[in-house]
Structure 1
Amino acid sequence: MATATFDNIYPLGTKYWGVSSLDASDDDGGIRFRNWPIYGLRQPDAISYFLHGDTGYIVTANEGAPTKVFFQNVSYDEQLKGKDIYKMDLLSSSFPSERLREALSEDPELGCLRFSSADGLDPTEPSKLYRLHAFGGRGVSIFRADDLSLVWDSGDDLERMEAKFYPEIFNSRYDDKPDETPTDEFDDRSCKRGPEPQSLTVGRIGNQTIIFISAQKTGSVFIYSLDTGEQITPTFQSVYWGGRADLTWEEAYRARQVGDMDPEDMSFVPGDRSPNGTPLLLVAGTSSGTVSVYEVMESVVTAKASTKTPDLYLGLTTILCLLVISG
């Protein structure tokens, strides 16, 4: 940093959705996971470094974002809907799948999903695509810090866990219409970047490394634990959403049960630095204008968690509402 020079640039690779699954449409009848032979650009919004044993790792929250430029008379937007790619005949003659080509023409399949018009261009037909790249990895990845090799990816965990425990807000988003409820935007983000993991933080509780990830649009917080050992295989513990689906945004805000919409940042406070001796998670919600303080609990009371008994979940300590939503 002192010399303002780069040592190296490491591409983070792509994620293949032929192995993991995703819900790629808001017009497919609800929550519907499918495998597609397409790729995802990880494009992390947040990264964090941690030590596990004697090895350093980097964990990324793979939100995704298309390139958009608006400057003077220049306007450029990298993203195209699948059906636009189909209508504009932008697939090369070497595009590998006729079935996939047809899926781009239908909204319930891949017609509304956003793709890059810059990645996957065919070298023999530079203006056309032979591979399809959607934006974001809809999850979390862990890389070795010394060579940026991928050691773990959450696959479709985040999307599936939210579908399982909070299906009423699945791939939804905050909309600043005070008379609407969170369920009014159900499935809305499936055509774009799904849960959009935005921020993360890493802490230690006992001999475990704990990874907290938040989803931008719903404000859900996911907890993974990583036991001491050579294997880098985080275990899903629980997911927490602090909102009320039965209340309008205005009602939930006034009741301080709006959750943490657009959680731009999180911070972990270990027990030995916490004012009450319990590990804390601090979450800043940008759109909700909130700062929430959660206790990281190690017993089961009302946790929404995996099918096994969770070791960790969040208990709300306090929420500070900083803005007022007016009707």
Structure 2
Amino acid sequence: MRQLNPWLLATCLTLPAVLAVLAGCDGDDGRDGLDGADGSPGEQGPAGENATNSRIALNFLGRYETGAFDESAAEIVDYDPATRQAFVVNAQSGRVDILDISAPDMPVLAGTLNVAADIASAVPALAGAEALGAANSVAVAGNLLAVAVEADTKQDNGYVALYQTDGTFLSATEAGALPDMLAFTPDGNTLLVANEGEPNGDYSVDPEGSITLVDLTGGAGNPVSRTLRFTDFNTGGSKTLGADVRISAKSASIAQDIEPEFITVSADGGTAWVALQENNALAVVDVAAGEISSVIGLGYKDHGLTGNGLDASNRDGGTNIREWPLRGTYMPDSLKSYTVNGTTYVVSANEGDGREYLTDAASEAECSAQGGFDYDDGDCFHYLDEIRVGDILDSGATIELANLERFAPDLDTLTDNANLGRIKVITNLGVRDCPAGSLEASGQPTAGCVYEQLYSFGARSFSIWDSRSGALVFDSGADFETVTAQRLTEGFNASNDDNTGDDRSDDKGPEPEALEIARIDGKFYAFVGLERVGGIMVYDISNPESAEFVQYINTRDFSQDIDSLVEGGNFSAVGDLGPESIRFVPAEQSPNGEALLIVGNEVSGTTALFAVSLVSGE
């Protein structure tokens, strides 16, 4: 990797004292351990590599543009070093784009995979390609490419297609409902699939979430699949959920409510950790045994602690990062794992996600006939588990916070729109005395409900967890909002389809979603993509208990009028919007001999490439 003069990047590597590492998460709720059963001691590994006094810096190289805006035309990415090709999920076209990145500054489209057609050709039981929906994920292991595809009716079982990385179709195998993410074990012999199992729009059909294991030891042309279910965790089952696992008020069973989102696999391939985003939990999978060992709640982040503040309102005139009487539910999207001094850590991007189920309706009367509880401009809501703090009182429910005086002189002041009134919180957490059937029917509170705690969606951070004990060893606190406020000023907390600042403060802020970990020059680095405001956060996580901010880079132009560009048919000037996934390419696998990051940007439909350069230490 090229060496850069450190003074050229001083603004990327230096932060004011306010951004000192925010390890102050004392007081956050505890949680159970993440690991399954202890294994036998392994052989002595090779001597460790001494880290050098150096840092890294990202530099934008180039991008491929699909020309599709806000159509999910560039989502999940992976890379094959043998062919120098990146594989990008293009949900807009329903295919996988193959990009030639031999020249990383000028990636070009080399071809596409019509995955639905290939699966339909191999599965006679399917009524053609139209029975399948969008591709959701890709993964590469050696010369093998796997693609997850949902059914046209998302509550039906989806499929996984297997290809050679030269594009040759090999086989297809059935997965669970809404296969959302793929991960290979390091040896490539097992493919794990997270099947999210979301309900349909009126919540009348709710398939179980599940995890499919695809055994490839017999060759990719002869995959053998089995799907692991969560039924043992149902009421009266043989296994018990850990503390603080969130279950929807409307759910028919725990197994139906659990929604696997993302998978990371240990270096030895023996254990996998699966993000159950809406449940604020992780599932631990014993891969060899083919068993879900445990489901572990992640606890909550105390936004009332110094260093854990956030901007809670889009009506407060700009940036206002401060402590509030809120508990953040981590609700991670992406996960990665890495090992330091024999201990494996799980890293999470704490996006947050609500449950909103609706159908189309032409009128309020039609919505009512469908069984919906609220109609809004063509949307008929059947279940919604979020509410603005100010609207809790309008519903007839009450708020009784024991620590109110720390944050406001009275409840009216606290719930003002410029304070905490606008932020969305979870309806079925921190509440008591709700009449039977109120939350279960619509997700919304009614008169009689009393909120003693307020729980917000996500944690606006990334976290590092000890896989043995489940302990939270690091959280980035308020870093993401503090850094973006300092760097972007009026672009702070903008959404990913509009450059208006402060727009997402009342929702989930910058929404950390994409995540990658890389070992470079003896150090471990985390790359975190912020889905809403955009850009990549870089941290040195070599010391898991004291991760250090390194850089924030954003290739978005906040001076542009996005609506005008889109209406004009050419929005390339705005840059990259909505990073959805990140793939690190080490220097020895890179087409130009320099380490790279490949980033899929969902809203702009672009795939961006960055050089990862070494910066000499002092």
Question: Which TM-score applies when normalising by structure 1?
Answer: 0.82
Q: 1:1-327 to 2 correspondence within 5 Å?
A: 1=213, 4=228, 5-19=291-305, 20-70=308-358, 73-74=371-372, 75-91=382-398, 95-97=402-404, 99=408, 101-122=411-432, 127-175=449-497, 183=499, 185-227=500-542, 232-249=545-562, 250=565, 254=570, 256-299=572-615
Distance 2:540 2:401 in 1: 44
Q: Aligned in 2, Cα 1:82/1:291: closer, same or farther, shift over 3 Å?
A: same
**Structure 1 residue 299: Cα displacement:** 3.1
Q: Aligned in 2, Cα 1:297/1:255: closer, same or farther, shift over 3 Å?
A: farther
* 8 A Cα contact 1:48 1:202, kept in partner: yes
Instruction: Report the AA paired with residue 36 of structure 1.
Output: W
Q: Aligned in 2, Cα 1:299/1:258: closer, same or farther, shift over 3 Å?
A: farther
Instruction: Report the AA paired with residue 385 of structure 2.
Output: E
**Structure 1 residue 245: Cα displacement:** 2.1
**Structure 1 residue 149: Cα displacement:** 1.7
* 8 A Cα contact 2:350 2:511, kept in partner: yes
Percent of paired sites with the same residue: 29
CA offsets per residue over residues 36-57 of structure 1, 9 Å max, x none? 1211111111111112232111
**Structure 1 residue 257: Cα displacement:** 4.5
Q: Secondary structure at the match of 1:57?
A: strand
* 8 A Cα contact 2:389 2:424, kept in partner: yes
Match of 1:304 in 2: none
CA offsets per residue over residues 12-50 of structure 1, 9 Å max, x none? 111100111111111111111111121111111111111
Question: Which TM-score applies when normalising by structure 2?
Answer: 0.45
**Structure 1 residue 160: Cα displacement:** 0.5
* 8 A Cα contact 1:95 1:129, kept in partner: no
* 8 A Cα contact 2:515 2:526, kept in partner: yes
* 8 A Cα contact 2:425 2:456, kept in partner: yes
Distance 1:107 1:62 in 2: 25
* 8 A Cα contact 2:529 2:579, kept in partner: yes
* 8 A Cα contact 2:535 2:556, kept in partner: no
State the aligned residue count.
Answer: 293
**Structure 1 residue 89: Cα displacement:** 4.2
**Structure 1 residue 133: Cα displacement:** 0.5
Match of 1:318 in 2: none
Q: Aligned in 2, Cα 1:262/1:166: closer, same or farther, shift over 3 Å?
A: same
* 8 A Cα contact 2:334 2:348, kept in partner: yes
Q: Secondary structure at the match of 1:65?
A: coil
Q: Aligned in 2, Cα 1:174/1:278: closer, same or farther, shift over 3 Å?
A: same
Q: Secondary structure at the match of 2:529?
A: strand
Q: Secondary structure at the match of 1:188?
A: coil
Distance 2:389 2:433 in 1: 21
CA offsets per residue over residues 129-166 of structure 1, 9 Å max, x none? 10000111001011112232211100000110111112
Q: Aligned in 2, Cα 1:16/1:141: closer, same or farther, shift over 3 Å?
A: same
CA offsets per residue over residues 158-197 of structure 1, 9 Å max, x none? 110111112231100122xxxxxx54x1000001110100
**Structure 1 residue 271: Cα displacement:** 1.2
* 8 A Cα contact 2:465 2:472, kept in partner: yes
Distance 1:88 1:17 in 2: 25
Bigger radius of gyration, 1 or 2? Answer: 2
Q: Aligned in 2, Cα 1:136/1:255: closer, same or farther, shift over 3 Å?
A: closer
Q: Secondary structure at the match of 2:480?
A: helix
Distance 1:146 1:61 in 2: 19
Instruction: Report the AA paired with residue 384 of structure 2.
Output: D
Structure 1 range deviating more: 124-133 or 163-172: 124-133
Distance 1:299 1:256 in 2: 30
